[in-house]
Chain A
Amino acid sequence: MSRVPTSEYAIQAQNLSKSFATVKAVQSLNLQIPHSRIYGFLGPNGSGKTTAIRMLCGLLTPSSGDIQVLGYAIPAEAETLRLKVGYMTQRFSLFEDLSVHENLGFMADIYTLERKTKAHRISETAERYGLTSLLKQRAGTLSGGQKQRLALAASTLHKPELLFLDEPTSAVDPENRRAFWESLFDLVDEGTTILVSTHYMDEAERCHSLAILNEGRLVAEGSPAKLQDDIDANIVLVESRRPRQVGKMLEQLDFVQSSAQIGKLLRVMVSIDQPLPEKAVGDAIRQAGLDLQQCKLTEAGLEDVFVAATRSGKTLA
C-alpha cells in the first residue's frame, strides 16, 4: 500500500531552478499553491512556464530546489504521483490516427481503470465534454476546440487530484475557450487543483491566483484583483487626434514606463513616484505642441500588471 500523503498545499516549491547549458530557464522559484484552486502561470514565451510545469510533474529534473506535489517529493516519487495527476500538453498529443473512443479507451487502460469503471468513465467524460457524437471520429479530423476537449477528457478520465494544463487554449477560438474554462471551474468544484500556464490575459484573469513569470523568475504573484491593486505604476488614458506621435513622444520621458495604443486611445504607464501623473502627461503633450483631447487616470488592468512586471523585472509581491 502506498502511503497517502496529506499536505496543506497541493504544490510547494522552494528555490526551484533549472538551467539548460548556459540558459537559466527557471531561477529560484518559490510556490505555494493551495488545493481546489486554479493557479495560473502567466508569462511571455520563453519565460519558463513550461519548464516549471515539467519540473513540477517530474518530467524534468531541477538543477536545484525542492518540490512537494500532493505531499510527494518530486522527482523522487514522480512515478507514484502519476496516478493522481493529469497532464495536458501544449500540443495535442493524443493519437490522431485513432478514434475519439479508441484514444479514451487507451488512456483508461494506461491508467488501469477496471473494465466497468472504464466504460462508465468514457461515456461520462464524453458526455461532459460534448464528445458523445464524435466517439467514432478519428482524432486527427477534429477541430481545434474538439481536440482540446478530447485532451481534457483524456487527462481527467482517472479523476486526478491535480491537473497540469500547459497553454491549453492556444489553438482555440474565444467561444470554445470560454466553455473550456467553465469546465475547469466544474472540476475545481469537485476538488481538483489546476495549474494552468497561459499568455492570454483573459485566461489569466479567470485564475484564482496568478504567478507572473519573466525570464525564469517569478516577478509578481497574487489574485488578479490584488495584482491590479498593487501595481507600482499609474495608468493614464490619453485621447488625441495624433496618438502615434503622442505615444512616441511620451516614451522618451523618464517618468513614462510604456504606452500602448488601443483604438484612438493611449494607455500610458507612469512611474508611481510621479506626483499628479495625469497632469504631468497632459503638460508634456501640450509642451510638445501635440493635440490633446482628454487625459485622465484609470484603473490598472491585468495587461498593465503584466507589462509592468515583465518590463521592470522587479518583484511586486
Chain B
Amino acid sequence: MKSLQRIIAIIKKEVRQLGRDRLTFAMIVGIPVIQLLLFGYAINMDVRHLDAAVADMSATSASRQVVMGMENTQIIKIVAQASNADELEHLLRQGQISVGIYIPSDFDRRLQQSDRSAMQLLIDGSDTIVQGAAAQLARVLQPAETSPYYYKHPAVEVRTLYNPERRSPVNTVPGLIGVILTMTMILFTAVAIVRERERGNLELLITTPVKIPELMVAKIIPYVIIGLIQVSLVLLLGHFLFDIPMRGSLLDIYFVTLIFIITNLALGLVISTLVSTQFQAMQLAFFVLLPSILLSGFMFPFSGMPKPAQIIAEALPLTHFIRLIRGVILRGASLQELSGEIAILGAFIVVLMTFAILRFSKRLD
C-alpha cells in the first residue's frame, strides 16, 4: 500500500510536470504527426503519370495497341520516342524517364511463342514507387486466368534496374510507429531522469523512503500512456490519410506496441543511468536511433543486409517490432504465430530493467 501511494505520487507529479512543459507536450503530438505526414506522403502509392519512353521496333498495330493499353492505365505518360534499347537506357540514366518500353521487331511473332517474352519494360528501380507500378503495367499483356495459356511465359518481361529488391511502401507506415516510438520513448525517459539529476531533484528523492523499483515503474507509466496515444495517432492518420490496411485485430496491434513501448522505456532508463547530462542522454539516444532506422528493416530489407549488419540488427528492439507490427497489421498474423518475436522483446525488457535497477543506486558513489 505504501509502495502504491509513493508510485501514484510520482506518477501524478510526472503528469503535472508534463502538462506544464509545453514543448515536450507539443513534441508528443507533433513528432508522430509531422513524421507520418513527411514519410507518408513520400511513400504515396497512388502512382500516376510516370514519364515513359517507347522504343517500338516492330511498329505494328498490335504493338501500338499494347502501348496505348499501358497509357490507358494512367500509370505512365509517354513523353518520348526512342529509336533503340540503348537510347531507352540512356534516358533512364539521365532521369528523364522512369519507365522504358522496349518492343522488339519480332513482337508479333513472340506473342505467339510461349517460351519467350514479347516485350521488355525497363524500370528505374532507384525509385521504389516506380517498382511497384511496374507490376501493374506488366499485367496489361497477361492473359486471363481462364486462358489455356495462363501458365505460359509472361508476355512482358519486367527488368528492374538499380534496385532489384522490391519493397512495398505500405510497409513504411507500420514501421514508422516503431521509429517514432524509438525516437520519443527512449529520449523522454532518459531525459526525464537525467534532468532530475541535473536539477538536484534526484539527490532529494534518494534520501526519502522511495525504493528504486517504485521510482522506475512510476517514471515509466506516464510514458507508456503517451506512447499509446502516439500509436493511436499514427494508426488513425495512417488509416484515414494513407488507407493502410489493418488485417490484424486492434487489440493485437496495441499489445505488441505496448511491449515495444516498455522495451524502449527500459532502454531509456538504462541510458539515464549511464550518462550525467541531458546532452549525453540525447547523444546516446541517437546512437541507438540511427542504426535502428537503418538496420531494422524499416529502410532496407533485412534479408538484403550483410551478416554482420543482421547480427547488430537482431540486438535492436526495433528490428523485432518491425517484424511484429508488419505481421499483425499487414499480414494479419496471430500473436501465437509471432510469439518468438514477442518473447525476444520480453527478454529485452527483463534484461534492461534489471540492468537499470541495478545500476541506479540510491547512493551517490
- Chain A contacts for B13, CB-based, 8 A: 95, 98, 102, 106
Which residues of A (94-125) have their CB < 8 Å from a CB of B? 94-98, 102, 105-107, 109-112
**Alpha-carbon distance A61/B363, docked complex (angstroms):** 7
Which of B170-178, B197-205, B318-326 sits within the interface?
B197-205
With beta carbons under 8 angstroms apart, the residue of A20, A60, A93 that contacts B204 is A93
Cβ of B334 within 8 Å of any chain A Cβ, yes or no, is: no
With beta carbons under 8 angstroms apart, the residue of B17, B209, B364 that contacts A60 is B364
Cβ of A168 within 8 Å of any chain B Cβ, yes or no, is: no
Q: Are A97 and B17 closer than 8 Å at their CB atoms?
A: yes
Cβ of A87 within 8 Å of any chain B Cβ, yes or no, is: yes
Q: Are A89 and B200 closer than 8 Å at their CB atoms?
A: yes
- Chain A contacts for B5, CB-based, 8 A: 109, 112
- Chain A contacts for B206, CB-based, 8 A: 59
- Chain B contacts for A24, CB-based, 8 A: none
**Alpha-carbon distance A54/B201, docked complex (angstroms):** 15
Given contacts A61-B363, A61-B365, A102-B16, contact A96 B199 (CB under 8 A): yes
Q: Are B17 and A93 closer than 8 Å at their CB atoms?
A: no
Cβ of A231 within 8 Å of any chain B Cβ, yes or no, is: no
What is the CB-to-nearest-CB distance from A262 to chain B, in angstroms, rounded to a whole number? Answer: 36
With beta carbons under 8 angstroms apart, the residue of B8, B200, B203 that contacts A109 is B8
Q: Are B364 and A59 closer than 8 Å at their CB atoms?
A: yes
Q: Are B204 and A85 closer than 8 Å at their CB atoms?
A: no
Interface size class of B (residues with CB under 8 A): 20 to 34
- Chain B contacts for A20, CB-based, 8 A: 365
**Alpha-carbon distance A92/B200, docked complex (angstroms):** 7
Cβ of B2 within 8 Å of any chain A Cβ, yes or no, is: yes
**Alpha-carbon distance A59/B211, docked complex (angstroms):** 14
Which residues of B (175-224) have their CB < 8 Å from a CB of A? 199-201, 203-211
**Alpha-carbon distance A95/B5, docked complex (angstroms):** 19
- Chain B contacts for A75, CB-based, 8 A: 363
Q: Are B208 and A107 closer than 8 Å at their CB atoms?
A: yes
Q: Are B209 and A111 closer than 8 Å at their CB atoms?
A: yes
Q: Are B17 and A95 closer than 8 Å at their CB atoms?
A: yes
With beta carbons under 8 angstroms apart, the residue of A54, A61, A97, A107 that contacts B21 is A97
Query: Which residue of B has the minimal Cβ distance to A95?
Result: B201
Q: Are B2 and A87 closer than 8 Å at their CB atoms?
A: no
A interface residues, how many (CB within 8 angstroms): 32
Query: Which residue of A has the minimal Cβ distance to B4?
Result: A112
- Chain A contacts for B204, CB-based, 8 A: 87, 89, 93-94
Cβ of A127 within 8 Å of any chain B Cβ, yes or no, is: no
Query: Which residue of B has the minimal Cβ distance to A59?
Result: B364
Cβ of B6 within 8 Å of any chain A Cβ, yes or no, is: yes
Query: Which residue of B has the minimal Cβ distance to A62?
Result: B365
**Alpha-carbon distance A89/B201, docked complex (angstroms):** 9
Query: Which residue of B has the minimal Cβ distance to A84?
Result: B209
Cβ of B229 within 8 Å of any chain A Cβ, yes or no, is: no
- Chain A contacts for B207, CB-based, 8 A: 57, 59, 82, 85, 87, 89, 164
Given contacts A60-B365, A93-B203, A112-B2, contact A98 B17 (CB under 8 A): yes
Q: Are B17 and A82 closer than 8 Å at their CB atoms?
A: no
Given contacts A57-B207, A60-B364, contact A91 B2 (CB under 8 A): no
- Chain B contacts for A57, CB-based, 8 A: 207
Q: Are A110 and B209 closer than 8 Å at their CB atoms?
A: yes
A248-272 to B contact mask, C-beta < 8 Å, 1/0: 0000000000000000000000000
Cβ of A83 within 8 Å of any chain B Cβ, yes or no, is: yes
Q: Are B201 and A93 closer than 8 Å at their CB atoms?
A: yes
**Alpha-carbon distance A164/B363, docked complex (angstroms):** 16
Cβ of B20 within 8 Å of any chain A Cβ, yes or no, is: yes
Query: Which residue of A has the minimal Cβ distance to B17?
Result: A97
- Chain A contacts for B201, CB-based, 8 A: 93-95
CB-based closest 10 A-B pairs? A109-B9, A93-B200, A87-B207, A93-B204, A112-B2, A91-B200, A82-B209, A110-B208, A59-B364, A60-B365
Residues of chain B touching chain A, judged by Cβ–Cβ distance below 8 Å, are 2, 5-6, 8-10, 12-13, 16-17, 20-21, 199-201, 203-211, 362-365
11 new A-B pairs (CB below 8 Å) besides A83-B209, A110-B6? A20-B365, A59-B206, A61-B365, A75-B363, A78-B362, A82-B208, A106-B9, A109-B8, A110-B10, A110-B208, A110-B210
Residues of chain A touching chain B, judged by Cβ–Cβ distance below 8 Å, are 20, 54, 57-61, 75, 78-79, 82-83, 85, 87, 89, 91-98, 102, 105-107, 109-112, 164
